[in-house]
C-alpha cells in the first residue's frame, strides 16, 4: 500500500478473487488471494482506501504522494498531552 513508507506505493500484496455486494447493508465483502506465503503469519492488517485522503495529503504537502517523513518505516506520532 505504501502508507507506512516501508514499501513503495503499488507494491502488490494480494489479488482480488471475488467481490460480494450486499445491497441491503450498502457494503461489500472482498475476497483476496495473497501473493506472499501467509500461512507463516498469525495476523494480517486490512487497510481501507479513501481517494479523498490522497487529495488532502497532496494539497497539504504541496507535492502529490510526498512522504510525511524522511525516515522510511517511521510513523509520525504526537507527544502525549498535545492535541
Nearest in space to 51 (alpha carbons), one of 66, 61, 65:
65
pTM, two decimal places: 0.38
Radius of gyration (Cα) for the chain, nearest Å? 17
Give the H or E element holding residue 51.
Answer: helix 51-61
Which residues contact residue 49 at a Cβ distance below 8 angstroms, ignoring those fewer than 6 apart?
Answer: 1
Give residue 17's pLDDT: 94
pLDDT per residue as tens, the chain (83 positions): 566 676 677 777 788 999 999 888 888 888 988 887 877 878 877 777 777 777 777 676 655 555 555 555 555 555 555 54
Q: What does the domain layout of the chain look like in residue ranges?
A: 14-61
Beta pairing partners, 28: 21
pLDDT at 61: 61
Q: How far is CA 80 from CA 22, 26, 75, 77, 83, in A?
A: 41, 38, 15, 9, 8
> In this predicted structure, what is the pLDDT of residue 83?
46
Distance between CA 35 and CA 30 in Å, rounded?
Answer: 16
- pLDDT given for residue 20 in this prediction: 93
Amino acid at each position: 500500500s505504501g502508507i507506512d513508507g516501508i514499501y513503495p506505493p503499488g507494491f502488490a500484496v494480494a489479488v482480488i478473487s471475488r467481490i460480494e455486494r450486499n445491497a441491503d447493508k450498502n457494503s461489500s465483502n472482498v475476497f483476496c488471494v495473497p501473493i506472499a506465503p501467509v500461512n507463516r503469519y498469525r495476523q494480517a492488517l486490512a487497510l481501507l482506501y479513501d481517494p479523498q485522503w490522497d487529495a488532502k495529503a497532496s494539497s497539504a504537502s504541496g507535492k502529490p504522494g510526498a512522504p510525511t517523513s524522511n525516515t522510511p518505516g517511521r510513523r509520525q506520532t504526537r507527544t502525549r498531552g498535545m492535541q
